[in-house]
Structure 1
Amino acid sequence: MHHSRRAHRRLAAAAFATTALLTAGACAAPAAGPAGQPKAPSDSASPGTTSLPDSAAEPVALSPLAGRAGGADESVIPGEPLTVTAPAGRLESVSVTGADGKRLDGRTSPDGTAWVSSHGTGYGARYTVSARVNGADGSARTVTRSFTTLRKSEIFVGTYNVNQGSTVGVALPVSVVFNKPIHDRAAIERKLSVTASPAVEGSWSWMKDRDGKDRVDYRPKEYWKPGTKVTFRMDLVGVRDGALVGTQKREIGFTVGKAVTSTVDVVRKTMTVSENGRPLRTLKVSTGKKTFETWNGTMVVLSKVPTIRMNSATVGIFGQEAYDLGAVKWDVQLTPSGTYAHAAPWNEGKFGRVNASHGCIGMSDADAKWFYDRVDFGDPVTVVNSVDTVAVNNGYGAWNVDWATWRKGSALD
Structure 2
Amino acid sequence: MQDSRRGHLKPAERRHRRRRLGVAALAVAGIVTLTACSQTASGASEKPPAQDSGSGADAGAAPGENGSAAVTVSPATDGKDVIPGEPITVKPDEGKLASVTVTAGDGKVLDGTLSADGASWTSSQPTGYGTTYTLKAELAASDGAEAATSTSSFTTLSKDEIFVGTYNVNKGTTVGVALPVSIVFNKAIHDKAAVELKLKVTSSPAVEGAWSWMKDRDGKDRIDYRPKEYWKPGTKVKLAMDLAGVKNGDLVGTQNREVDFTIGKSVVSTVDVVKKTVTVAENGKVLKTLPVSTGKKTFETWNGTMVVLSKVPTIRMNSASVGIFGPEAYDLGAVKWDVQLTPSGTYAHAAPWNEGKFGKVNSSHGCIGMSTDDAKWFYDRVNYGDPITVVKSTDTVAVNNGYGNWNVDWATWKKGSALA
- What band does the TM-score fall into relative to the shorter chain? 0.7 to 0.9
Q: Find the counterpart in structure 2 of residue 63 from structure 1.
A: 74
Deviation at 1:137, TM superposition (A): 5.5
What amino acid is the match of 2:235? T
The superposition leaves residues 319-356 of structure 1 with CA deviations (integer Å, 9 ceiling, x where unpaired) of 11000000111100000000000011111111111110
Question: Secondary structure, in 3 states, of the residue corresponding to 1:394?
Answer: coil
Of residues 95, 98, 102, the one that matches 1:92 is 98
Does the 8 A contact of 2:241 with 2:255 survive in 1?
yes
Deviation at 1:136, TM superposition (A): 6.5
Question: Secondary structure, in 3 states, of the residue corresponding to 1:93?
Answer: strand
Q: Find the counterpart in structure 2 of residue 276 from structure 1.
A: 283
Deviation at 1:389, TM superposition (A): 0.2
Q: Find the counterpart in structure 2 of residue 81 from structure 1.
A: 87
Q: Find the counterpart in structure 2 of residue 229 from structure 1.
A: 236
Tell me how far apart the structure 1 counterparts of residues 373 and 389 of structure 2 sit (CA, whole Å). Answer: 21
What amino acid is the match of 1:335? T
Deviation at 1:385, TM superposition (A): 0.6
Does the 8 A contact of 1:87 with 1:113 survive in 2?
no
What amino acid is the match of 2:126? G
Deviation at 1:93, TM superposition (A): 1.4
Does the 8 A contact of 1:309 with 1:327 survive in 2?
yes
Deviation at 1:234, TM superposition (A): 1.1
The superposition leaves residues 168-202 of structure 1 with CA deviations (integer Å, 9 ceiling, x where unpaired) of 11000011111111111111111111111111000
Tell me how far apart the structure 1 counterparts of residues 399 and 236 of structure 2 sit (CA, whole Å). Answer: 25
Q: Find the counterpart in structure 2 of residue 402 from structure 1.
A: 409
Q: Find the counterpart in structure 1 of residue 206 from structure 2.
A: 199
Judging changes above 3 Å, is the alpha-carbon distance between structure 1 residues 19 and 85 closer, same or farther for their aligned structure 2 residues?
closer
Does the 8 A contact of 1:20 with 1:302 survive in 2?
no
Tell me how far apart the structure 2 counterparts of residues 409 and 228 of structure 1 sit (CA, whole Å). Answer: 25
The superposition leaves residues 209-267 of structure 1 with CA deviations (integer Å, 9 ceiling, x where unpaired) of 00111111110000001111111111212222122112212111111111100111111
Matches within 5 A, 1:264-413: 264-413=271-420
Deviation at 1:47, TM superposition (A): 3.4
Tell me how far apart the structure 2 counterparts of residues 229 and 134 of structure 1 sit (CA, whole Å). Answer: 45
Deviation at 1:138, TM superposition (A): 4.5
Does the 8 A contact of 1:307 with 1:328 survive in 2?
yes
Does the 8 A contact of 1:132 with 1:143 survive in 2?
yes
Of residues 128, 136, 139, the one that matches 1:122 is 128
Q: Find the counterpart in structure 2 of residue 25 from structure 1.
A: none
Of residues 59, 63, 66, the one that matches 1:48 is 66
TM-score (norm 1): 0.87
Supply the RMSD in Å over aligned alpha carbons: 2.2
Matches within 5 A, 1:149-164: 149-164=156-171
Tell me how far apart the structure 2 counterparts of residues 317 and 49 of structure 1 sit (CA, whole Å). Answer: 75
What amino acid is the match of 1:249? N
Tell me how far apart the structure 2 counterparts of residues 279 and 100 of structure 1 sit (CA, whole Å). Answer: 63
Deviation at 1:49, TM superposition (A): 5.4
What amino acid is the match of 1:83? T
| Structure 2: unaligned runs, 5 residues or longer | 12-45
Check if 1:212 corresponds to 2:184: no
Tell me how far apart the structure 2 counterparts of residues 337 and 384 of structure 1 sit (CA, whole Å). Answer: 19
Q: Find the counterpart in structure 2 of residue 28 from structure 1.
A: none
Matches within 5 A, 1:154-193: 154-193=161-200
Deviation at 1:3, TM superposition (A): 4.0
Does the 8 A contact of 1:59 with 1:89 survive in 2?
no
What amino acid is the match of 2:103? T
Greater relative contact order, per chain length (Cα 8 Å cut-off, separation 6+): 1
What amino acid is the match of 1:364? S
The superposition leaves residues 137-189 of structure 1 with CA deviations (integer Å, 9 ceiling, x where unpaired) of 64331122211111111111111111111111100001111111111111111
Q: Find the counterpart in structure 2 of residue 27 from structure 1.
A: none
Check if 1:131 corresponds to 2:131: no
| Percent of pairs with identical residues | 70
Pick which of 238-247 and 398-407 moved more: 238-247
Q: Find the counterpart in structure 2 of residue 256 from structure 1.
A: 263
Does the 8 A contact of 2:212 with 2:418 survive in 1?
yes
Q: Find the counterpart in structure 1 of residue 117 from structure 2.
A: 111
Deviation at 1:20, TM superposition (A): 7.0
Judging changes above 3 Å, is the alpha-carbon distance between structure 1 residues 192 and 375 closer, same or farther for their aligned structure 2 residues?
same
Tell me how far apart the structure 1 counterparts of residues 272 and 200 of structure 2 sit (CA, whole Å). Answer: 36
Deviation at 1:19, TM superposition (A): 6.0
Tell me how far apart the structure 1 counterparts of residues 5 and 275 of structure 2 sit (CA, whole Å). Answer: 20
Deviation at 1:129, TM superposition (A): 1.1
Tell me how far apart the structure 2 counterparts of residues 96 and 288 of structure 1 sit (CA, whole Å). Answer: 61
Q: Provide the aligned length of Structure 1 versus Structure 2.
A: 380
Tell me how far apart the structure 2 counterparts of residues 326 and 108 of structure 1 sit (CA, whole Å). Answer: 57
Question: Secondary structure, in 3 states, of the residue corresponding to 1:320?
Answer: helix
Question: Secondary structure, in 3 states, of the residue corresponding to 1:222?
Answer: coil
Matches within 5 A, 1:231-250: 231-250=238-257
Deviation at 1:37, TM superposition (A): 3.3
Judging changes above 3 Å, is the alpha-carbon distance between structure 1 residues 289 and 138 closer, same or farther for their aligned structure 2 residues?
farther
What amino acid is the match of 2:176? G
The superposition leaves residues 288-324 of structure 1 with CA deviations (integer Å, 9 ceiling, x where unpaired) of 0111000000000001111110000111111110000
Does the 8 A contact of 1:182 with 1:241 survive in 2?
yes
What amino acid is the match of 1:101? G
Does the 8 A contact of 2:182 with 2:223 survive in 1?
yes
TM-score (norm 2): 0.86
Judging changes above 3 Å, is the alpha-carbon distance between structure 1 residues 125 and 19 closer, same or farther for their aligned structure 2 residues?
closer
